[in-house]
Amino acid sequence: AVVHAKMAEVERKATTVKDVPADVFIREYSLHLKRSGLLTLPKWVDLVKTGTNKELAPYDPDWYFVRAASLARHIYLRGGTGVNSFRKVYGHNSRKGTAPSHFVRANGGLIRHILQQLEKAKVVEKAPKGGRRITSTGQRDLDRIAGKIRNRK
């Protein structure tokens, strides 16, 4: 039994983003993006709405980093995803009072701006067939943070 315990310690499996819960990973990666200074916040970050169905800007002051972390995770899991697909992912129902609700896509300019920032940070790159894909340095960073989360448990 002692031999098996030592072998289990030696055989450490690599941790990927798929191995950790999404909410915990997005929170940790957004803190990493904020601390590292990889992304530069636009001056309109506190004024912009995330979609036409919203009345106000997000209340969380770090929402830009959270959205960037969510986009990076999504591209990691499914490469080749473009701005229009993300507009569908982050869209919501638009409530129209007594009239029936309808689905409205999210703000595309905002998603495009975040993806361009992630490209400058060398986390994602444009895919040859369209959309974005994760770079090797981006994958290494995301896996490193996933490993930190897994080791903490």
What pairs with residue 71 in β-bridges? none
- At 63, the amino acid letter reads W
- Percentage above 90 pLDDT, the chain: 54
Q: What is the pLDDT of residue 121?
A: 93
Burial label, 2 (beta-carbon count in 10 A; 0-12, 13-18, 19+):
exposed
| DSSP letters for 73-125 | HHHHHSTTB-HHHHHHHT-EEEEETTEEEEEEPBPHHHHHHHHHHHHHTTSEE
Residue among 106, 117, 53, 114 at smallest CA distance from 84:
106
pTM of the predicted structure, to 2 decimals:
0.85
More confident: 55 or 84? 84
- Which phi and psi (to 5°) does residue 96 adopt? -115, 35
Q: What is the pLDDT of residue 55?
A: 80
pLDDT of 142 > 60? The answer is yes
60 Cβ neighbours under 8 A, 6+ residues apart: 66
Banded model confidence at residue 5, pLDDT cuts 50, 70, 90: low
- The alpha carbon dihedral of 130, 48, 138, 37 has a sign of positive
Tokens describing residue 55: 């009345």
